[in-house]
Amino acid sequence: MTYELPSTNVVCLYSVENAHDQEVTAELKTYFEKAEGYSIDYDPNVSIAKLKHLRPDCSVLFLNTHGIADNNRYEALGSGTHNLNEIGDANLRQELQQDMDHDLIYETSPSGHIAITFELIRQNWRFPKNSFVFINGCMSFNDALQHVSLSAILMNDCHAGVVGGWTQYSTPTADSGITYLFDRLLGTNARRDDPHREVPPQRPFDWVRIFQKMKDLGLDTAPILSEHGEETIPTQMRIEPNGVSDLGLLAPSIEYVEIDEVKKEVTLHGLFGTDQSKIRVFVRECQDGYVSEGDCELILDTSTNEQTIVCKGLPDSGTGSAGYIVVAADYENGKFVQSNAVPITAWKGKFTYTLRLPGQDPAGSGFGQITADVLLRGDIHRSRKKPGEATQSRFSAFKNVKDPGTPAKFTSGGSYTGGDNGLTYEWHGSGTVALDNKAPGGRIGIAGWHRHSIDPAHLKLIVLMTTGEGEALLDVTDKDGKKIITDMMSPINSLYLAEEKAVDVPNDFLQKSVTWAEADGKYETCYDIPAKPVTSLIVYGPISTKEKIITAELKWELLKAKYAPDEQTPG
């Protein structure tokens, strides 16, 4: 199915005065409050008048009540009013007396409470298309009484999108499957003393997958106690759609986020509903609010029902360039029903990479050097595909790891005379190199991978830096002193950083020296290498591969993470 959000953000949480465990409704109120964005109508002692005139903008109704069978004519829902005489409003009393005359309400026996009948519900209750109604009372979803089936009336006559209830008598409590259902739909992870709590916390999911997980855990049934306290047949929870509504979600849900630094696009994967006008994407830490308002495109893969949102406008730097990104459903009343918050982590630091020939000043810039401010940015939090399963790490590519706000600097100067061919190589040139990923080969090509795409256990970080064609100039002189090449354009250097296992790439300086523990959920806050420079003999450019005479030195300032995920980040 195509998962939709509720038509409105109005949730009605009602309980009749004499219903079972009033804490159920109170507990659900705390979930909706924590989820934010919902307009909550909470009434722990709902009146017969309020049940009669149920608000038509209610997209989520939870009614904690009794189901009363009266001579097998119908079931009915008790109210908190004992009799008509207790109603002080004469006009309302007269109105309800007329309802009683027309079998829309009646006084139950022996308690004398006023109850509404199914006929009143049929005539008076109407719900928006994408609505969720759960009647937490006896036989509220009882197939054995099809001629008086409340669930059928709610779906067919009242147009409730999805209806839930119980097949038999029910005595649910605040730690029942009811609280599991709404806690997981909203992704609040607030259920008290939850024996099924996921670690790390779980993002919101659709009711179809949540209800299937409840069945797997046995939370869709509850024992019925006889008057002597003995367990009899269990009552079963049922949840079904009306066949027209596409309601699936009570909150948007982000599985993971990708950032394309070249296209300046942010792509969010997850479940968001399909109403383009309702979706907003923003970074919580940004004072100005939205990453994009009107520049987001919501895409549905009809083969998988997976959804993506592609946004333009994430700032390169400053407030809002990193932080906790959120998808929100905008109900145009100043309230936003928000998704789980996914951290867009940013690491900042500095690379200085120097190539030296024999005899060159160890403190100097050698014959080739790049100094670049580095910015890595991406989502590396662990996430789930299905509710209740373990979180998984993903391959992440940093398509740019150079800070776009600061040009890289390069210098080139020095000479070397080869042993075998007698050629002399002289480098010269200096300047700054701006980031330009669109230029052929890249003016300064920097790419990064957070865990390897083929073998996730193989690499945790690789960074490649090069000035590309045209930045460093090389003259070559033969053994007779004649210049045979003048101002040949050549890159200054290449740089590969890797960690965890030996890899078949040149200039692999940092085997097992980078620290970052994202893969097992024990998140750290930085990439780091040993404090002193790392050096290696390398093969370079036109010099014979037999002559490993060039020393490459790397100095790396600590890459400090901001907004790193941790064990409390929902997945």
Q: pLDDT-based confidence at 119, cuts 50/70/90? A: confident
Helix (H, G, I), strand (E, B) or coil at 300: strand
DSSP state of 508: B
Q: Mark 302-321 as b/e (b = at least 16 C-beta within 10 Å).
A: eeeeebbbbbebbeeeeebb
Give me the residue spans of the domains in the chain: 10-241, 256-340, 345-562
pLDDT tens across 326-366, in order?
Answer: 998 888 887 889 999 999 888 787 878 788 888 888 888 88
Helix (H, G, I), strand (E, B) or coil at 30: helix
Structure token pair of residue 333: 């009343």
Structure token pair of residue 140: 């509220």
Instruction: Tell whether the torsion through CA atoms of 331, 337, 339 and 342 is positive or negative.
Output: positive
469: exposed, middle or buried (Cβ count in 10 Å: 0-12, 13-18, 19+) = middle
Q: pLDDT-based confidence at 503, cuts 50/70/90? A: very low
Model pLDDT, residue 31:
96
Antiparallel, parallel or unpaired: β 10-15 and 39-43: parallel
pLDDT tens across 426-451, in order?
Answer: 888 777 766 554 444 444 444 555 55
CATH topology of domain 256-340: Immunoglobulin-like (2.60.40)
228: left (phi over 0), alpha (psi -120 to 50) or beta: alpha
pLDDT tens across 364-412, in order?
Answer: 888 778 787 877 788 888 899 999 999 887 766 666 666 767 777 777 7
CA–CA separation, 130 vs 64, rounded Å? Answer: 21
Q: What is the mean pLDDT of residues 446-459?
A: 49
Mean confidence (pLDDT) of the chain: 78
pLDDT tens across 121-160, in order?
Answer: 999 999 999 999 999 888 788 765 545 688 889 999 999 9
- Whether the per-residue pLDDT at 25 is higher than 90: the answer is yes
- Whether the per-residue pLDDT at 310 is higher than 70: the answer is yes
Model pLDDT, residue 452:
46
Helix (H, G, I), strand (E, B) or coil at 92: helix
H-helix segments, 102-176: 118-124, 150-156
Can you give the pTM of this predicted structure? Answer: 0.84
Nearest to 351 by CA among 76, 553, 124, 112: 553
Angle CA(531)–CA(533)–CA(537) in degrees, nearest 5? 150
